[in-house]
Chains A and B, each alone.
Chain A
Amino acid sequence: MSDQAVPAVSSPPASGPKERDGRALQRPLLLRLLARPEVGVFLGAVAVFVFFFAAAPTFRTGSAMATVLYQSSTIGIMALPVALLMIGGEFDLSSGVAVITSALTASMVSYQLTMNVWVGVIVALVVSLAIGAFNGWMVMRTGLPSFLITLGTFLGLQGINLAVAKLVTGNVATDDISDMEGFDQAKAVFASSFTVGGVQFKVTVLWWLGFAALATWVLLRTKYGNWTFAVGGNKDSARAVGVPVKFTKITLFMLVGFGAWFVGMHQLFAFNTVQSGEGVGQELIYIAAAVIGGCLLTGGYGSAIGPVFGAFMFGMVSQGIVYAGWNPDWFKAFLGVMLLGATLINLWVRQSAARR
Chain B
Amino acid sequence: MTTDDLGTPNGTPTPADRVPIVELRGAGKSYGNIRALHGVDLAVHPGRVACVLGDNGAGKSTLIKIISGLHQHTEGELLVDGRPVRFSTPREALDRGIATVYQDLATVPLMPVWRNFFLGSEMTKGPWPVRRLDIARMKKTADDELRNMGIVLDDLEQPIGTLSGGQRQCVAIARAVYFGARVLILDEPTAALGVKQSGVVLKYIAAARERGLGVIFITHNPHHAYMVGDHFSVLRLGTLELSADRTQVGLEELTNHMAGGAELAALKHELAQVGGVDVQGLPEEKDLRAPVAAPPEGNS
Contacts and interface: CB of A to CB of B under 8 A. Distances in A.
B131 interface: yes
Nearest to B205: A9
Interface string A229-259: 1100110111011110000000000000000
B59 interface: no
A12 interface: yes
B203 interface: yes
Interface residues of B, number: 64
B207 A13 contact: yes
Interface string A1-31: 1111111111111111001110110000000
B15 interface: no
A221 B138 CA distance: 12
A229 B152 contact: no
A11 B211 CA distance: 10
B278 A7 contact: yes
Contacts of B109: 233-234, 300
A24 to B, nearest CB: 4
A243 B91 CA distance: 12
A10 B252 contact: no
B130 to A, nearest CB: 9
A241 B121 contact: yes
Interface string B28-48: 000000000000000000000
Interface in B142-170: 147-152, 154-155, 159, 162
Given A8-B227, A241-B120, A221 B133 contact: yes
A353 to B, nearest CB: 11
B107 interface: yes
A226 B119 contact: yes
Contact of B108 (A13, A234, A242): A234
B281 A5 contact: yes
A320 to B, nearest CB: 34
A223 B159 CA distance: 18
Contact of A13 (B150, B252, B281): B150
A237 B107 contact: yes
A208 interface: no
Q: Is the interface of A mostly helix, strand, loop or mixed?
A: loop
A229 B199 CA distance: 32
A234 B107 contact: yes
Interface stretch (B5-13, B75-83, B261-269, B292-300): B5-13
B115 to A, nearest CB: 6
> Which of A223, A238, A354: most chain B Cβ within 10 A?
A223
Nearest to A8: B278
A211 to B, nearest CB: 16
A10 B9 contact: yes
A243 B122 CA distance: 10
B152 A241 contact: no
A238 B206 contact: no
A223 to B, nearest CB: 5
A9 B111 contact: no
A12 B133 contact: no
A52 interface: no
A222 interface: yes
B108 A2 contact: no
Interface string A108-123: 0000000000000000
Contacts of A10: 9, 206, 210, 228
B110 A233 contact: yes
B246 interface: yes
Interface in A340-356: 354, 356
A226 B9 contact: no
A8 B108 contact: no
A292 B136 CA distance: 31
A11 B9 CA distance: 9
A3 B251 contact: yes
A325 to B, nearest CB: 44
Interface in B250-300: 250-253, 276-278, 280-281, 283
Contact of A2 (B121, B159, B281): B281
A207 B231 CA distance: 64
Contacts of A14: 150
A355 B111 CA distance: 16
A233 B111 contact: yes
A301 interface: yes
Contact of B148 (A6, A9, A15, A221): A15
16 contacts: A1-B250, A4-B246, A7-B246, A15-B147, A217-B132, A222-B124, A223-B124, A223-B133, A226-B115, A226-B133, A229-B115, A241-B121, A242-B121, A243-B119, A243-B120, A356-B162
Interface of B: 1, 3, 5-7, 9, 90-91, 102, 104-111, 115, 118-122, 124, 131-133, 135, 147-152, 154-155, 159, 162, 199, 202-207, 210, 226-230, 246-247, 249-253, 276-278, 280-281, 283
The 7 closest A-B pairs by CB, nearest first: A3-B250, A12-B207, A242-B120, A233-B108, A241-B120, A13-B150, A8-B278
Interface of A: 1-16, 19-21, 23-24, 217, 221-223, 226, 229-230, 233-234, 236-238, 240-243, 296, 300-301, 354, 356
Given A4-B6, A240-B106, 19 more contacts: A2-B280, A3-B280, A3-B281, A7-B9, A9-B227, A11-B206, A11-B210, A12-B204, A15-B152, A21-B152, A23-B154, A24-B154, A221-B133, A226-B115, A226-B118, A229-B108, A233-B111, A238-B119, A243-B119
